Structure 1
Amino acid sequence: MRKLIFLYFLIIVTSCKKEVTVRQTAIPTAVLQKIAALGFNAADVQRFQGDYLVEGDIRLSEADLNKPAIGPYLRIAGTEQYRTSNLVTGTPRTITIKVASSLGSAFVAGTDTAIARFNSLGISLTFVRITTGTADITISGFNQGPSGGSITYASSGFPSSSGNPYPTILLNTNSAAFGSNPNVLFVASVIQHEIGHCIGFRHSDCLDRSFSCGGTPVNEGSGGVGVILIPGTPSAPDANSWMLACNNVGNRTFNANDRIALNYLY
């Protein structure tokens, strides 16, 4: 079967052929109504470590559900690059990342690879992995096996209104996710995608997830955080974007249009 990934923070997560969700007990109607009111798609929502996971890899807390929606919601086309209303501010800025000691060497190497890919762009954000102290983004693990034929690979979220990146990326350490011997380039691609969410990127096919995930066309919605077109990105399908909702469970990095989007914002 095809697997879902990227985060959004899918279902899952961030960089698989299919982002997959873990099936679970029913989500209360009142919660689904709040999620829909914010503009997120309320299908396939799952409970996740006390929060809610939507769009495969986007994590929403109870507090998030009670926030007023933020516009604008600008629909130009379905496959361009999109950002949230909030971005990381105070640039040029160094973003520190720490990998939890409980994660294996493949996750550390994957983080270093993702960091190197961002830093090679020469944008106004510089990423540095640290081993002590408090980081801007902490990468931790969770262990959750498949359920109902699906599995979650990773999750993250969007920048705060104060201009800070989302502080957490969670990676699934269950062997059914990345395997017992994780491929570093695949891990790096998932982390790279989740960092994209942390600094304000929506899925590039957020207005029609079927482009990368297949199946029935699904519009992720504004999510209360904005779906704002990034000027200079294409109106035609962009099959290799690092921010597609789903990919091939392999290595995916920035294409030319991703670089345009990153340079425009940062």
Structure 2
Amino acid sequence: MKRQIAVIACLAAGLMMGACNRNDQQKEAQPNPVSDEVLAQIKALGFGTSDVQKRNGGYLVEGDILLTADQLNQKVGTPTLRIAKDEQYRTNNLVTALPRVVTIKVTDLGAAYIAGTDTAIARYNRLGLRLTFQRITSGDATITIKGFSEGVRSDGFITLGYAGFPTDDGNPYDTITMNTHSRAYGANPDILYVGSVIQHELGHCIGMRHTDYMRRTYSCKGDPVRNEGDGGVGAVHIDGTPTRPDAESWMLACSNGGNRTFNANDIIALNFLYQ
């Protein structure tokens, strides 16, 4: 998930006042170029090829989704699809072996990230799904939450966190990476805000795509990337979710700068997949 500093941060209480001045934004080094071959693989999986960033372990697409080299090489069958507008969408792979408890460990992050993780876990577990979450402090976890530090990019956006999609063996993606830079959450991160981003990234880990992946300008105001996919493999419409704009969905591509949780349609989508 990412946030536009120049617009959204000016509306969020407690964030740095200087963030509203676009000329004062920190300029980040351009990421390593991505080869045409990799871009073709990303497009074949149904993801957009604008603003792809090379990261440790893979390539970042749609602002906060990490595709690994193994995923790029997968040949996934195509189920019945529907061209995306603003509905809830999932990937082809989902978490299997239900009922199931997914364990989560937070490593080398501050108290706000630990409390934010507990907030996200509680929100999922209150839904009564057959997929539940539990934070552990020792031993191996199914999902590890760790940190990285990166300031505002030259386009005015900052990455708040990123994750990946379930593997083809039915396991959730195993890592959520959260931004610890002060421009992401401020010097004293708000627990509900951090928790909302972790909640969003957990959505990716269990197979949720962005609600507005075909029209990212819906939540990312001013984002030049208007279309993050071509209706190809990996964007399956979830029965029972609407075909009208859904401004409060927890899986919108960009943060609103504050607390955001499940709305009624999000709960329908999760119940359909994991009840």
Q: Quickly say closer, same or farther: Cα 1:225–1:124, change in 2 above 3 A.
A: farther
Mapping for residues 80-95 of structure 1, pairs under 5 Å? 80-95=87-102
Q: Please name the residue that 2:72 is paired with.
A: 65
SS in 1 for 2:151: coil
Encode CA deviations 1:118-144: one digit per residue, 9 max, x unaligned.
Answer: 011111111100000111111001122
SS in 2 for 1:95: strand
Is residue 2:144 matched to residue 1:172? no
Give the percent of matched residue pairs that are identical in Structure 1 and Structure 2. Answer: 58
Encode CA deviations 1:146-176: one digit per residue, 9 max, x unaligned.
Answer: 3314322111011111111000000011112
Select 2:127's aligned residue among 121, 124, 135.
Answer: 121
Mapping for residues 87-236 of structure 1, pairs under 5 Å? 87-100=94-107, 102-148=108-154, 149-215=156-222, 218-221=226-229, 226-236=234-244
Separation in structure 1 between the aligned mates of residue 33 and residue 80 of structure 2, nearest angstrom: 29
Contact 2:105 2:143 in 1 (8 A): yes
SS in 1 for 2:241: coil
TM-score by length of 2: 0.84
Is residue 2:273 matched to residue 1:265? yes
CA shift, 1:33, in A, is 2.2
- In structure 1, list runs of 5 or more residues that go unmatched: 5-20
Separation in structure 2 between the aligned mates of residue 222 and residue 73 of structure 1, nearest angstrom: 14
Q: Quickly say closer, same or farther: Cα 1:75–1:176, change in 2 above 3 A.
A: same
Q: Please name the residue that 2:264 is paired with.
A: 256
Letter in 2 for 1:237: P
Q: Quickly say closer, same or farther: Cα 1:108–1:228, change in 2 above 3 A.
A: same
Separation in structure 2 between the aligned mates of residue 263 and residue 136 of structure 1, nearest angstrom: 22
Separation in structure 2 between the aligned mates of residue 231 and residue 224 of structure 1, nearest angstrom: 18
Pick the structure with greater CA Rg. 2
CA shift, 1:60, in A, is 1.5
Structure 1 stretch displaced more, 169-178 or 28-37: 28-37
CA shift, 1:262, in A, is 0.7
SS in 2 for 1:226: coil
Letter in 2 for 1:172: N
Q: Please name the residue that 2:13 is paired with.
A: none
SS in 2 for 1:151: strand
Encode CA deviations 1:60-114: one digit per residue, 9 max, x unaligned.
Answer: 22222222244236225511111111111111111111100x1000000000000
CA shift, 1:40, in A, is 1.2
Separation in structure 2 between the aligned mates of residue 257 and residue 48 of structure 1, nearest angstrom: 33
- In structure 2, list runs of 5 or more residues that go unmatched: 1-5, 10-27
Letter in 2 for 1:181: N
Contact 1:23 1:46 in 2 (8 A): no
TM-score by length of 1: 0.87
Contact 2:46 2:235 in 1 (8 A): no
